[in-house]
Amino acid sequence: MAQITADNHGLRLVVRYTVLGLIALMFVFPLVFMLMSSLKPDAQLLSDTRSLRAFLPVGDISLDNYFDAFRRAPVGLFIFNSVVVTGITVVLSLMVCSAAAFAFVFVDWRGRELVLTLILATLIVPFETIAIPLLLIASKLPWLGLDGLSYGWLNSYQVQIIPFVADGLTIFLFVQYFKDLPGELIEAARVEGASWWQVYRRIVMPLAGPVLATAAILKFLAMYNQYLWPLMVVQEETYRPVMVGLQYFFQLNRAWGEIMAYLSLITVPVLAFYLFLQRAFIASIASTGVKG
Amino acid sequence: MASKFTRSNATGWMMAGPAAALMALFIVLPFIFAIGFSFTNQRLISPNPTQFVGLSNYSQLLGVGLLVLEPEKDEAGSVLRTDDGSLTYPALRGFTRNNPDYPQFDGMREWFSLSLGENRIYVLARDVVFIKAIVNTVIFVMVVAPLQGGLALVLALLINQKLRGINFFRAVYFMPVVVSIVVVSLLWRFIYDGQSGLLNNLLGALTFGAFPRIDWLGNPNTALGAIIAMSIWQAVGFHMVIWLSGLQTISPSLYEAAAIEGASPWQTFRYVTWPGLRNTAVLVLIVITMQAFALFAQIDVMTSGGPLDSTQTIVFQAVERGYGKQDISGGSTISVILFVFVLAISLLQRWLTREKK
C-alpha cells in the first residue's frame, strides 16, 4: 500500500479532475460546435471542421446567419407558438394536476382508489402507442371558437395543449409530495370551518413550492421539446412550434450556418434557464426516481 | 383520517374530475381505440364505412414463413451446378406468387436466407420492412438499456465523490438532457458526416490519416450504431441523476462500517452500494427501456429509416403508416404490438430484478 503523502494526494486529485474534465468535454463539444458554427459563413464552417478551429470563435465572425435565418423562415412566429403552447400547458397542468392530487390525498370520496389506480396505470403507456388513434380523435373533436362551433382540432393551439394538461407523472409527483404534508393541519382547518377551496388555496398550495417547480420544469422540457405530435397535427405554419419549424431549413439549399443559428436560437435560452436553475432541474429529474 | 370533515364525494369528483376526464379522453380512450382499430380497416379519411377485419392486420405485419429449397437436379438425380460451381435453386417467386400448393407463402418476400448442406433455407416475411423495424428496435433496446444504465451508474459514482467543484461537472454531464433530441440529432449529423464530419476528422487525426472515412449514417453497417451512441450521449445524464438520488439514500454509516472492516472499493460497491440500489436499478432499466422502444425523432431527423431499412423502427413505421399513409388501423396495430413489447419487457425486468428471498 502506498503511503498517503501530500504528493500522492495531489497526484490523485489531478487524475480525478482530468478524468472528470475529459468526460465534461465529451458532453459539451457538440454544443460548443453549434454555437461557434452559427457565427461563421458556410465555407469557413465546413473547412474549420478539419481542426480545433471548429470549436473556436475565429475567422470571419458575425451574426449574419441569425439575420438570414429570420429572413428564410418565420422564426419569431415559431418561437412565439412554442412559448404560447408550452406556457399555457405548464400553467394548466399545474392547476389541474395539483387539484386532482389534493383530492386523492386529502379528500375522502367514493371512487378515489379506483381513479388513482387507473391514473397511475397510464404511466406504463408510452405516448407513442396512443399517438395514432389520438390523431384520429383530434381530427374529429368539436371546438367552440370565436367563429362558432367547428369540428377537428388539427392546425390549432388547443390540439398541442389540451391533450397534455393532465398526465400520470405530474399527478404522481403532487401525490407523493402532498402525502408528506401533515394531514392533521388540513383536518384542523376543516374543523375550524375552512372550505375545501380555502384549504387548497391558502394552506396546501403555499406549501407546494418545491413540487410546483419540479412539475413545471418537467412539463416545460417535455412540451418545448415535443416533436412527434406537432409533426402530425400541425401542417400550417401559423401554429407551428420551433422543433417542427426546422423543416424549413432543409428545403431548397442547405445553409448550415443558418441551421446552426436557428438551433442556437432555440437551444440557448433553455440552456441558460437550465444553468441558472441547475439545482432545481436536477432535483426535478431525481424526484421522478423516488419510490418508482 | 376519515371523518365527516374530510369526507366529500362532490369535492373529490370536482377536483379530480378535470384531470380524470382529460386523461380518459386523451390517454385511455385512444389506448382502447388502438386495440379496437387494430381489428378494422379504419382510415383517417375514407368514403367507405369501416369494416371488421379480424386479425388480418396482425398477420399482415407479423406473418413469417420458412421455406427449405433443394437444389435443382437433373433427371438422373444429381445436382445441377452453374459454370462457377454454385448450386441453383428454383425461383422463390414460384412459391410466393399464386402457388395453390403453398397458400401460406402467398405475397411474402425474402427476409434473409442461409445455406444448410445443399439446401437453401429461406426465411420469408409478409412485411419485411416491419420485421426489420422490430429487429432494429429490439437491438437498440438491448444495447442501449444495459450500456446507458451502466454508464450512467459510472458517472453517478464519479459525481458522488466529495470534491470541490463537483457540482459543475454534474451540471455539464446533465446538459444534453435539456437539449431537444431533434436539435441533438441535427448536430450529430454533422459529427457523423462522411465528408467534413468531426468524427472522421478526429479519427483521421488520431491515426495520421490511416483511418478510412466512413459515412456513418449512410452505411447500413454503422447507421444504427451511430444512432445508439448519440442517443446514449443525450440521455445518460438523466439516468445519472436518478442513480445519484439512489446513491444518496444509502446510509453513510454503512460506508464507515465497510471502511473499518477494511473492505476494498470493489467489495464496498458489491456489498454496500449495489444492494442499496436495487430499486433504483429496476426503475432505471424500465425507464430506459420504455424510452428506447419509442425511438423516433432520431430516425426521422437523421436517416428516415435508411439506408436499406437498417434504421427502421417500430414507432417510425407506426407514424409512416398511421400519419404518412393515413392508415389508422395499420398504425394502431403497430402501436398495440409496441405496447405488448414494452409491457413484456417491463414485467420481465421486474421479475429478473425481484427481491430474492
Question: What does the pLDDT look like over A134-171, one tens digit per residue?
Answer: 999 999 888 887 878 888 898 899 999 999 999 999 99
Burial of A282 (0-12, 13-18, 19+ CB in 10 A): buried
Give A196→chain B minimum CA distance, Å. 7
Domain limit, last residue, from B125, B141, B171: B125
| Contact residues on chain A for B346, CB-CB shorter than 8 A | 124
Domain A75-288 sits in CATH 3.30.499.10: no
Give B81→chain A minimum CA distance, Å. 51
CB neighbour list of residue B77: distance below 8 Å, 6 or more residues apart: none
Nearest CB to A129; choose among B6, B238, B339:
B339
Task: Specify if B46 maps to a domain.
Answer: no
Nearest CB to B187; choose among A30, A100, A162:
A30
Which triple of cell numbers denotes residue A164?
A: 397534455
Which triple of cell numbers denotes residue B26?
A: 386523451
Higher pLDDT: A283 or B169? It is: B169
A196 three-state secondary structure: helix
- How many Å apart are CA B132 and CA B125, to the nearest integer? 10
Domain limit, last residue, from B72, B96, B125: B125
Task: Specify if B278 maps to a domain.
Answer: yes
Interface with A, mutate which of B190, B198, B244, B319 (most A CBs under 10 A) = B190
Give A147→chain B minimum CA distance, Å. 24
The pLDDT assigned to B232 comes to 96
Spell out the domain ranges in chain A.
6-62, 75-288
What would you measure as the largest C-alpha separation in chain A, in angstroms? Answer: 82
- How many Å apart are CA B143 and CA A90, to the nearest integer? 34
Tell me, yes or no, whether B166 and B108 share the same domain.
no
Strands (E) across A147-281 are located at: 148-151
The answer to whether residue A5 scores a pLDDT higher than 70 is: no
Tell me, yes or no, whether B209 and B147 share the same domain.
yes
| Contact residues on chain B for A24, CB-CB shorter than 8 A | 169, 172-173
Nearest CB to A274; choose among B29, B178, B336:
B178
**Other C-beta atoms lying within 10 Å of the C-beta of residue A291:** 8
Question: What is the rounded average pLDDT for all residues in chain B?
Answer: 88
Q: Is B237 on the interface with A (CB under 8 A)?
A: yes
Higher pLDDT: B138 or B162? It is: B138
First to last CA, chain A: 42
Task: Specify if B246 maps to a domain.
Answer: yes
Task: Specify if B192 maps to a domain.
Answer: yes
Cα angle vertex A252, ends A73, A75, to 5°? 10
The three-state DSSP-derived secondary structure of chain B is CCCCCCECHHHHHHHHHHHHHHHHHHHHHHHHHHHHHCCECCCCCCCCCCCECCCHHHHHHHCEEEEEECCCECCCCCECECCCCCECCCCCHHHHCCCCCCHHHCCCEEEEEEEECCEEEEEEECCHHHHHHHHHHHHHHHHHHHHHHHHHHHHHHHHCCCCCCHHHHHHHHHHHHHCCHHHHHHHHHHHHCCCCCHHHHHHHHHCCCCCCCCCCCCCCCCHHHHHHHHHHHHHHHHHHHHHHHHHCCCCHHHHHHHHHCCCCHHHHHHHHHHHHCHHHHHHHHHHHHHHHHCCCHHHHHHCCCCCCCCCCCHHHHHHHHHHHCCCHHHHHHHHHHHHHHHHHHHHHHHHHCCCCC
The pLDDT assigned to A2 comes to 47
Q: Do B169 and A231 touch (CB under 8 A)?
A: no
Q: Is B355 on the interface with A (CB under 8 A)?
A: no
The answer to whether residue B243 scores a pLDDT higher than 70 is: yes
Tell me, yes or no, whether B89 and B193 share the same domain.
no
Tell me, yes or no, whether B136 and B271 share the same domain.
yes
Tell me, yes or no, whether B174 and B323 share the same domain.
yes
Nearest CB to B173; choose among A19, A23, A135:
A23
| Contact residues on chain B for A200, CB-CB shorter than 8 A | 15
- Please give the ipTM for the structure prediction: 0.89
Confidence of residue A243 (pLDDT cuts 50, 70, 90): very high
Q: Mean of the pLDDT values across residues A266-290?
A: 86
Tell me, yes or no, whether B194 and B121 share the same domain.
no
Tell me, yes or no, whether B139 and B121 share the same domain.
no
| Contact residues on chain A for B173, CB-CB shorter than 8 A | 23-24, 27
Instruction: Give the A:B interface size as CB pairs under 8 Å.
Output: 292
Cα-Cα-Cα-Cα dihedral sign, residues A161, A215, A75, A235: negative
Which triple of cell numbers denotes residue A107?
A: 379528500
Tell me, yes or no, whether B329 and B180 share the same domain.
yes
Instruction: Tell me the per-residue pLDDT of B184-229, one tens digit each, with 9 for 90 and over.
Output: 999 998 899 888 788 888 888 888 878 888 899 999 999 999 999 9
Contact criterion met (CB below 8 Å) for A70 and A91: no
Strands (E) across chain A are located at: 142-145, 148-151
Q: Is B105 on the interface with A (CB under 8 A)?
A: no
Confidence of residue B78 (pLDDT cuts 50, 70, 90): confident
Domain total for chain B? 2
A64 three-state secondary structure: helix
Contact criterion met (CB below 8 Å) for A208 and A98: yes
The answer to whether residue A81 scores a pLDDT higher than 50 is: yes
Contact criterion met (CB below 8 Å) for A179 and A109: no
CB neighbour list of residue B150: distance below 8 Å, 6 or more residues apart: none
- How many Å apart are CA B227 and CA B188, to the nearest integer? 9
Task: Specify if B13 maps to a domain.
Answer: no
Cα-Cα-Cα-Cα dihedral sign, residues B229, B230, B232, B233: positive
The three-state DSSP-derived secondary structure of B135-172 is HHHHHHHHHHHHHHHHHHHHHHHHHCCCCCCHHHHHHH
Which triple of cell numbers denotes residue A237?
A: 405554419
Q: Is B315 on the interface with A (CB under 8 A)?
A: yes
The pLDDT assigned to B1 comes to 46
- How many Å apart are CA B178 and CA A221, to the nearest integer? 7
Tell me, yes or no, whether B150 and B116 share the same domain.
no
Q: Mean of the pLDDT values across residues A41-66?
A: 87
Q: Do A132 and B201 touch (CB under 8 A)?
A: no
Domain limit, last residue, from B110, B125, B140: B125
Nearest CB to B196; choose among A46, A103, A286:
A46
A17 three-state secondary structure: helix
> Which helix (DSSP H) or strand (DSSP E) does residue A290 occupy?
none
Nearest CB to A104; choose among B16, B179, B191:
B16
Q: Do A196 and B11 touch (CB under 8 A)?
A: yes
Q: Do B26 and A168 touch (CB under 8 A)?
A: no
Tell me, yes or no, whether B154 and B270 share the same domain.
yes
- How many Å apart are CA B29 and CA B40, to the nearest integer? 16
Q: Do B18 and A34 touch (CB under 8 A)?
A: no
Which triple of cell numbers denotes residue B213?
A: 472515412
Contact criterion met (CB below 8 Å) for B276 and B259: no
Q: Residue B299 belongs to a domain with what CATH number?
A: 1.10.3720.10
Tell me, yes or no, whether B120 and B138 share the same domain.
no
Contact criterion met (CB below 8 Å) for A84 and A259: no
Q: Is B260 on the interface with A (CB under 8 A)?
A: no
CB neighbour list of residue B90: distance below 8 Å, 6 or more residues apart: B69, B72
What would you measure as the largest C-alpha separation in chain B, in angstroms? Answer: 96
Percent of chain A with pLDDT over 90: 55
Tell me, yes or no, whether B221 and B105 share the same domain.
no
Q: Which domain holds residue B239?
A: 129-352
Contact criterion met (CB below 8 Å) for B331 and B323: yes
The pLDDT assigned to A272 comes to 92
| Contact residues on chain A for B332, CB-CB shorter than 8 A | 132-133
Contact criterion met (CB below 8 Å) for A274 and B264: no
Confidence of residue A291 (pLDDT cuts 50, 70, 90): very low
Interface with B, mutate which of A26, A129, A250 (most B CBs under 10 A) = A129
Contact criterion met (CB below 8 Å) for B21 and A121: no
The pLDDT assigned to A267 comes to 94
CB neighbour list of residue A170: distance below 8 Å, 6 or more residues apart: A93, A94, A97, A215, A218, A219
Task: Specify if B182 maps to a domain.
Answer: yes
Q: Do A133 and B293 touch (CB under 8 A)?
A: no
Contact criterion met (CB below 8 Å) for B258 and B268: yes
Q: Do B178 and A270 touch (CB under 8 A)?
A: yes
Which triple of cell numbers denotes residue B179?
A: 437539449
In DSSP notation, A109-140 reads -TTHHHHHHHHHHGGGS-HHHHHHHHHHHHTT
The answer to whether residue B350 scores a pLDDT higher than 80 is: no
- Among the residue ranges A29-43, A98-112, A209-223, B112-126, the one predicted with the least confidence is B112-126
- How many Å apart are CA A81 and CA A263, to the nearest integer? 16
